[in-house]
Chain A
């Protein structure tokens, strides 16, 4: 029965636009969903490889800007006398461009930054995000700087007459859910494979990992590329949903929000960022709905976060797994394989 719970959960989420008519609630679910996708991508780095990327919002922002710029078209001098002109592209193509741009940046940063570990990696990642923010703020010709990129088109698929428009919230919600499910599946495949074991081996014991032939740097770069691409996808969704992007998208608070979602939910677990994301994504709006003064809302938010971290230091999902004995470490597919292997031997 527990095997089908995730499928039932997804079916329930997919049914939401059928019975939820309140656009404000759908808006909250959409933005929460986008941040959950970003948090899942951060979890791949923080939870599975053990590297804290405090500049993760950079990949989210790069995905948003690249997708917005490709869909709007742009002209910009990338070197003295070298003008690059790009005509507006279809939104689906622009979104793929946003994902690819974030992945390429992830590859470059991964190659550079993973020569250092721990605190040095944290510093490199924060610095990268700040540099990207300053570029977005000051390269006015390309990004409009603080004036923001406006009128970003919404996603449309198909041809005239058979056009699927993602302008309305129920459709955007469905798109975000689809991207979230796809991201979850990709991350699950990765972490339950040779690559995932290599990433976990690095987190657990780097010297031992290299002694059995694991090229830890290669797997760290792979994790960064996949995490960046997924964060870029979240950024592209965000850009074509809110239809305006400014340099504030790179603010540190967004990375902090992702970290809170991952840590409270349970880093290094597949469900952790989803649980933490639902809790801390919906909480501010729930508190607002209670008509609390803003300062009380944020105090309540902080107190809940401290309580979760204090009483469940490994996060909500590991605590649930411990309580009901459904640890992901011995998750069912592997356990089934072992039982089968024992039976054969």
Chain B
């Protein structure tokens, strides 16, 4: 047997170990080991069903709200499967979508600036990526500011982030005033501006109208996404860890996936035929 190398990968909720078996300069086998076990699936056993609304978000500190919404929907399904109709009012559905959306925005910012970009500093010895330096870098600090700002939207409707249980089967517990809704929309506007100036490097409408990577690279000014794409290509990350082309996608991303439905037999994909219900 060849060489075995274990690497520790730290990030969220406990470390992950990556165990690689090397043979003749190639990875023969790979194992991802998560040595920490909390056992939520066993902890839930025998508990009253609504208690899952309190326990499940605590599976994850960065995306606990997704666990809450998923749990709420799962419990609603349980009621429905026993023949009890659950009517979630339209405004509650919208509020759930808004708060889960706010958490996703927070996730994107924290992952990109805190968990992805700092790793490039190690690869980029010669180049200055000082702005992305954890704790000290100005871009890292801005990511703290704006990722913390967007979760205020969850606090408006759910009281706090992380770990609220404000969504319950049948709806949400809040009844926001007009002024609380305005507080949330103002927060979202401020995030759009941050994203335009720092991530897209152009305004949102322009970004949505972009049709190719070249056009994006050409038009983006001061864009961290552009910087990221540059670094990925420079270090050939767009060629590493390639998957099996089992994606449904409306765009091309060089080397990684192609436009179309690519499971087994490639088919054409027409974005114009996509409907949103």
Partners in one complex: no
